[in-house]
A and B are shown apart, each in its own frame.
Chain A
């Protein structure tokens, strides 16, 4: 009884192995015999890659556009001013160098700084120094 079970199991194992081997070696005409290497590689990544099917990958760039740049600079200026007002309301008006604390500008009334929102036009050397330094110091 035991011997027959062992014999059956052995036959089954041989058949499975032979079937797998047949599947591996049966090539279509002109098929690359090393195709299994690539198949094994892509079987691992197929699920994650295929989830993108039917979607649009947004790889947009920022175009050089005078009006769009101007609008963006205006929005930045407004955000900066609002932030400045909030900081002053929170910590008082004249006790601190707010421009330097916000990392904008390099001193009172001097807006010609790369990080300043007033330096909006990256293709221009125009300075936004409004000469208000004396006023801010009061």
Chain B
């Protein structure tokens, strides 16, 4: 009896521990896994796919190139305002849009914000530390023609354990000189969550 217990108890403990153990597995980023119903990587990917597809195929690009003798437009990414009920970082899908600009070679992209500050600081450092032949000059930056800005909005309708969450992501491309909005991208996502 005692011998049986001595064998049985460690085995039971081992079984329980193996079930409770922390486990991590790599998954495909494009796989759709919804756990809480909140904004997740699938939503970000859907927005990115939709925006990249529409922004490069819209009329603003052909219109600009026709007006400027085939010259490519230069775009800078501005501020995205998250006015939804969740913390959402727009960079996850904005980077995909930027990537499409660079890889397609149809739109020129320039740095803005803190990265641009860093670039200028590096340039300033070169003025006194780099050799004369490799020193980069001030005043030769590519000026942007358009600015890409955006907003994220949401509507939540909940009743006890049921909830419908609606997200609307908008990206807008505006001509910096004329303030004319030349393109608006829109992605709507609705989720029904039942707890």
Nearest A residue to B149, CB-CB: A53
Number of interface residues of B (CB under 8 A): 32
Contact residues of B between 82 and 127, Cβ < 8 Å to A: 82-91, 94, 112-117
In contact, A50 and B156 (Cβ under 8 angstroms): no
Least CB distance from B38 to A in Å reads 10
Task: Tell whether, in the assembled complex, residue B158 and residue A64 are in contact, meaning their CB atoms are under 8 Å apart.
Answer: yes
A52 & B195 in contact (Cβ 8 Å cutoff):
no
Q: A61-B83, A65-B163, A67-B195 are in contact. Are A54 and B158 (CB under 8 A)?
A: no
- A63 to B79, Cβ gap below 8 A? no
Please indicate the chain A residues that have their CB under 8 angstroms from the CB of B81 in the complex.
Answer: 56-57, 59
Known: A50-B116, A53-B77, A54-B94. A66 touches B83 (CB 8 A): no
Main secondary structure of the interface of B (DSSP, over half): mixed
CB-CB contacts below 8 Å: A21-68 with B: 50-67
**Given known contacts A64-B158, A65-B158, A66-B160, A54 and B85 CB-to-CB distance under 8 angstroms:** no
Contact across chains for B82 and A54 when beta carbons are under 8 A apart: no
CA A54 to CA B90, docked complex, whole Å:
9
Q: A59-B83, A63-B85 are in contact. Are A53 and B116 (CB under 8 A)?
A: yes
For residue A33, give the distance in angstroms from its CB to the closest CB of chain B. 17
B87 contacts A54, C-beta separation under 8 Å: no
Nearest residue, chain B, Cβ from A68: B158
Q: How far is the CA of A91 from the CA of B91 in the complex (A)?
A: 51
Across the interface, A52 reaches (CB within 8 A) one of B88, B90, B113, B115, namely: B113
**B76: CB under 8 A from chain A?**
yes
The 9 closest A-B CB pairs, nearest first, are A53-B112, A53-B113, A63-B156, A63-B85, A54-B113, A56-B90, A57-B81, A54-B77, A56-B80
Taking Cβ atoms with an 8 Å cutoff, the residues of A that contact B are: 50-67
In addition to A52-B79, A66-B161, 11 A-B residue pairs with Cβ atoms within 8 Å of each other are A50-B116, A51-B114, A53-B113, A54-B77, A55-B91, A56-B91, A59-B83, A60-B82, A63-B85, A63-B158, A67-B158
Residues of B within 8 A of A (CB): 76-91, 94, 112-117, 152, 154, 156, 158-161, 163, 195
